[in-house]
Amino acid sequence: MSQPIAAPGRRSSVSASDPINHIPIPSNPRGIPVGSYGAQSPPTATGLSRSPDASTHIRAASGSVGSVFSGMARQLTAFLPKTYPLEEEPEKRQGSTKVLLLENINLDAAEFLKQQGFEVEHVTKAWSEEELIAKLPNYHAVGIRSKTKITQKVIDANPQLLVIGCFCIGTNQVDLEHAAKRGIAVFNSPYANSRSVAELVISEIIALSRQIVDRSQEMKAGIWNKVSKNCWEIRGKTIGIVGYGHIGSQLSVLAESFGMQVIYYDVIPIMPLGTARQVASLEELLGKADFVTLHVPEIPDTINMIGEEQFSQMKSGSFFINNARGKVVDLSALATALESKHLAGAAVDVYPKEPGSNGPGFNETLGDFIPRLRNVSNLILTPHIGGSTEEAQRAIGSEVSNALYRYLTYGTSLGSVNFPEVDLRSITTNDERHIRVCHVHRNEPGVLKQINNILSDHNIEKQFTDSKGDIAYLMADISGVGQEEVEGIYSAIKSTRQNILTRLLCKWSGINLPLPLYLYVL
């Protein structure tokens, strides 16, 4: 009969003549950090130490008996074998941060966020308001492009949402003010696709001047139509740029390199590049330009800024291009100007309403002007592809995904379009007993005093606060914080009257801390 195999490090039997004189204790096989043991010293290989550790992690001010026993329990747990079954304490369970990326956002961005430890879902389509309300509550962050609309209704249905990333230039698809009131930071990439849009405009100017689209369609229909009438070089022509920001100014340089004369209109004085010249009014620009191109945001002042009156002010036989925002142009008026031959051609990349996904759907349901536009000559219609290049999407994906990562991980709000911009240096791996307070609150007197009173038992290593309208954001790093104190600090700050959202960011060697609604561990 075979003998039972003894466990490693144990004797197979015990006798009265050879008694056990000590019980060896393994060296913390569960890997729990020494800093979490509490007031007691860790056990040695020959037993439990009876001497208190001078570097106690339980503050004398708290003096809680519960905290002491909690530290002792954590200490004893550390030296149980890994195979010993333990029921996980409910308050120590922590889910991963979940990020949703819609509208086929660049896969490099998704991969970057996954590498940072986030749980990422990548979806190729936009979601409707109903889908966002039903499905978005599973996520802490969402990335969108221009089709997905984050409305007040969507925001109110998702109290867990921390941050929105707009992987594009514009942010008009998000209710920025309401997002700020709910403590949700919004980031975008205002410059990354500037070159792609500027190059598209140059290509459209040349295509319109040479009627390339019409000739191509005729050839596909089997028609040979070699003509030169009303086909022009762009050298020596005047381009009028409405909005001389990053796209407009890059376009200015490109157009000038083609030998074009550049004039531009902007609501503020801006120094020109090259030999470009700023004009005093939109009306003056419309009357002088052979090509008019828009590069303005969608704000109340720009909605329908180009309509029947403005088209009538343009030179007969001139060209119109809109790669900015769909609502800044009255497309019915544009159709009329093209049908009457007042304009020789146009290019449109953006529309007041756009289909939610690729495929059929660009029809009269988006506006009664769509069938009219589809039937006029020398008109280039593109499906909002101004920034749709590999280079632009990689740059946008990198910029916005990094902004999401920094905000979720470190609380950094630099670059936010609706939020105070606040930053502190990162918590390092040496800051084992530091926590970072990220406190979004209403911009009212007395908040800083309240927060500092709550943190008064600790050393505030660094602190910065700023406000934007009715919203203020405070970041503070405090040291000498025991794990058992975190819950109390969080609850005290969250209970202040002006609180909108509070997060505590900590780094304690991977230990999961209690997870209230917005308590996160780095």
Q: Where are the beta strands (DSSP E) in 5-159?
A: 98-101, 119-122, 141-144
Instruction: Kindly name the residue from 140, 325, 436, 458 that is annotated as catalytic.
Output: 325
Cα dihedral angle (206, 208, 210, 213), rounded to 10 degrees? 110
- As given in the structure block, the two tokens for residue 430 are 């040496």
- As given in the structure block, the two tokens for residue 420 are 């105070």
CA 171, 157, 475, 451 dihedral sign is: positive
Instruction: Kindly name the residue from 354, 421, 461, 487 that is annotated as catalytic.
Output: 354
DSSP assignments along 9-44, one per residue:
TS-S--BTTB--------S-TT---GGGS-SBPPPB
**Residue 432: active-site member:** no
Q: Fill in the amino acid letter for 147.
A: K
- As given in the structure block, the two tokens for residue 389 are 């290049």
Interhelix angle 194-209/212-220, rounded to 10 degrees, is 70
Residues 6+ apart with CB under 8 A from 100: 120, 121, 123, 135, 136, 138, 139, 141, 142, 143
DSSP structure class, residue 110? H
**Residue 325: active-site member:** yes
**Residue 57: active-site member:** no
Task: Name the burial class of residue 447, with classes exposed (0-12), middle (13-18) and buried (19+) by CB atoms within 10 angstroms of its CB.
Answer: buried
Phi, psi dihedrals of residue 52, rounded to the nearest 5° = -70, 145
Give the C-alpha separation, 11 to 8, whole Å. Answer: 8
Helix or strand holding residue 241 (H, E) = strand 238-242
Q: Could you give the angle at the alpha carbon of 361 between the alpha carbons of 359 and 362, nearest 5°? A: 105
Phi, psi dihedrals of residue 313, rounded to the nearest 5° = -80, -15
Instruction: Kindly name the residue from 195, 295, 384, 458 that is annotated as catalytic.
Output: 384
The residues annotated as belonging to the active site are: 325, 354, 384
